[in-house]
Structure 1
Amino acid sequence: MTPLLRLATAQLPISGDARVNGRNVQAAMREAATQRARVIHFPEGMLSGYAKNPIQDWAEVNWDAVREELEAIMALAAELKLWVVLGSAHPLTPPHWPHNSVYVISDRGQIVTRYDKRVCSHTEVTRFYTPGHAPTVFDVDGWRFGVVICIEINFPALFMEYDSLGVDAVLLSTYPVDSIFLVKARAHAAIHTIWISVSSVTETDHLFRSGLIDPRGEIVAEVPGVQGVVVHALDRRAPELDIALTKARPWRASVQTDPRCDTAGLDDPRSTERTGR
């Protein structure tokens, strides 16, 4: 276990051309590696293109190009010794629509797992995507990560589930539609005392900038321009995080089983009588 891990968050434009997207991904990976990042995190739909913008129909997607670009990214991950968390549609067997997914590629260039978006929007589930059904966690150097995608920010149960699975950070890949999205992410980070990386796209920069939120809910890093990468260290020893990580988080985890908090059987009329003074 390492007390510090350098995480890169990317904000890039998304086209309907996997070749263009793949080149942008690889350039961002190289930039992250020069800044000694251990993990790089990309937006929703980054490689394949996101439905419904810019993809209007899956017939538009060159799936051979998506696979070839994915393989090139995997090879570069091994070369750079860099973990890659990459948004892309994942095709299923026809006639099933693809999953809206995030690939987790190890520093050996292998896909070690994949997260499939579980809560899809009405448009997604009726026209474009097949929902997934399970959480995804993976470990890098003693740090545990969970993954969620976009609209899932609105479902606290998913973040509670990852809390129960012991994650240190959640990687949130998104193509947002409003600015309140970032406020929700900050709230989840503070409530669960975790880091949250928010990787969004250049096209939504007017709403907020991609970056990293710490376990206090504070924004501690932002991509420096409308397109680029920011690298920031997750540091368990940071003095400003002492209360959140060593006091608040363990105390919150203990409340449900602390007998001092279980007063259901309290025999005191001053407690049971709710209309008295």
Structure 2
Amino acid sequence: MTGIRIAIAQPEVTADARTNGSTVRKLMRKAAAGKARLVQFPEGLLSGYAKEQIQDWADVDWPAVRDELEQIMALAAELRLWVVLGSAHPLTPPNRPHNSLYVISDQGELVDRYDKRFCSQTEITRFYSPGTEPVVFDVDGYRFGLMICVEINFPHLFSEYERLGVECLLLSAYPIDSVFEVKARAYAAINSYWVAMSLPAQTNHLMPSGLIAPTGTYDALLSDTDLAIADLDRDAPDLHVPLNLARPWRAAALKGDIYRTRRVTDPRSANRTTT
């Protein structure tokens, strides 16, 4: 196999970090049994998501969140499994937490953290502090990028990850409308990379979690299951056009040389009001 196998989780999110942590570890073991190298979880899973499970940060058992995170990191090392885990990340009071995705390596190390940069109006005024940087990381020669929920409404973030060489964007979310799926499929096709969507079980009536191919079609879908396992393979014949032709051509087109060198000086070009 020339690719990499990943798992996408669709668990129920609760307000209890202990319950959520137990769910994460159960699905990690299931992903490892399926020979996945990486497993992705939804937005806000470990701590519970603000506006839904969490109405006040004072209600969160932060020591439990930390303890559960450390247990998850230990299990990642045991299973030799990369984990991308959604959770609130507490800051120094009185600063509000970040809305984050923890990147845990197959050595059980917290190697990076993506903090949601574009928060919703309610998030930014009541719940979260914004992040500032994109995050990319490599597993077995494949490059992954991270994004969270409402950031789907900012096309330049998806283009940024394309320029950073991302081959699979891990989009963890707690969506509130079904058009979210349409946007995700469009970005996958426009940028010629995979988009893995990990969503909570509570939003399955809007859309399922799944893996969207660089063609904008699904490679895997979750309906009433809690985990999907799928392969990314950049050498797959049906991906030759989007990966080897379309993506490099768009990069060249954005640089503009193929157009600048072909511009003409012609009065019929300059005059746009004549037939």
Measured against the shorter chain, the TM-score band is over 0.9
User: How many Å separate the matches in 2 of 1:259 and 1:138?
Assistant: 31
Quote the offset at 1:71 in angstroms: 0.2
Quote the offset at 1:258 in angstroms: 4.7
Q: What secondary structure, in the 3-state scheme, does the structure 1 residue paired with 2:214 have?
A: coil
Could you tell me which amino acid in structure 1 is paired with residue 49 of structure 2?
A: Y
CA contact (8 A) 2:204 2:223 kept: no
Q: What secondary structure, in the 3-state scheme, does the structure 2 residue paired with 1:108 have?
A: coil
Q: Which residue of 2 aligns with 1:46?
A: 45
Q: Which residue of 2 aligns with 1:181?
A: 180
Q: Deviations over 1:48-69 (max 9, x none)?
A: 0000111000011000000000
Q: Which residue of 1 aligns with 2:260?
A: 262
User: How many Å separate the matches in 2 of 1:223 and 1:32?
Assistant: 14
Q: Deviations over 1:105-145 (max 9, x none)?
A: 00000000000000000100011000001100011111111
User: How many Å separate the matches in 1 of 2:256 and 2:237?
Assistant: 28
How many residue pairs are counted as aligned between the two chains?
275
CA contact (8 A) 1:198 1:210 kept: yes
User: How many Å separate the matches in 2 of 1:170 and 1:236?
Assistant: 14
Where does 1:225-240 land on structure 2 (aligned, <5 Å)? Answer: 225=224, 227-240=225-238
Cα RMSD for the two superposed structures:
1.2
Q: What secondary structure, in the 3-state scheme, does the structure 2 residue paired with 1:9 have?
A: strand
Q: Deviations over 1:199-233 (max 9, x none)?
A: 000111100100100000001101242x4110000
Q: What secondary structure, in the 3-state scheme, does the structure 1 residue paired with 2:123 have?
A: helix
Quote the offset at 1:260 in angstroms: 2.9
Q: Which residue of 2 aligns with 1:58?
A: 57
Could you tell me which amino acid in structure 2 is paired with residue 239 of structure 1?
A: P
Quote the offset at 1:266 in angstroms: 3.0
Identity of aligned residues (%): 58
Q: Which residue of 2 aligns with 1:250?
A: 248
Q: Which residue of 1 aligns with 2:204?
A: 205
CA contact (8 A) 2:115 2:130 kept: yes
* Misfit runs of 4+, over 6 Å: none
Q: Deviations over 1:17-55 (max 9, x none)?
A: 000000000000000001000000000001000001110
Q: Which runs of 5+ in 2 are unaligned?
A: none
Using structure 2 for the length normalisation, give the TM-score.
0.98
Q: Which residue of 2 aligns with 1:16?
A: 15
User: How many Å separate the matches in 2 of 1:221 and 1:67?
Assistant: 32
Q: Which residue of 1 aligns with 2:135?
A: 136
Q: Which runs of 5+ in 1 are unaligned?
A: none
User: How many Å separate the matches in 2 of 1:57 and 1:220?
Assistant: 38
CA contact (8 A) 1:182 1:208 kept: yes
Instruction: Quickly say closer, same or farther: Cα 1:21–1:218, change in 2 above 3 A.
Output: same
User: How many Å separate the matches in 2 of 1:113 and 1:35?
Assistant: 25
Could you tell me which amino acid in structure 2 is paired with residue 275 of structure 1?
A: T
Where does 1:111-150 land on structure 2 (aligned, <5 Å)? Answer: 111-150=110-149
User: How many Å separate the matches in 1 of 2:120 and 2:212?
Assistant: 25
CA contact (8 A) 2:82 2:104 kept: yes
Could you tell me which amino acid in structure 2 is paired with residue 77 of structure 1?
A: A
User: How many Å separate the matches in 1 of 2:223 and 2:57?
Assistant: 33
Q: What secondary structure, in the 3-state scheme, does the structure 1 residue paired with 2:146 have?
A: strand
Q: Which is worse superposed, 264-273 or 110-119?
A: 264-273
Q: Which is worse superposed, 253-262 or 43-52?
A: 253-262
User: How many Å separate the matches in 2 of 1:202 and 1:218?
Assistant: 21
CA contact (8 A) 1:224 1:230 kept: no
User: How many Å separate the matches in 1 of 2:254 and 2:200?
Assistant: 39
Q: Deviations over 1:224-259 (max 9, x none)?
A: 42x411000001111111111111111111112353
User: How many Å separate the matches in 1 of 2:139 and 2:160?
Assistant: 20
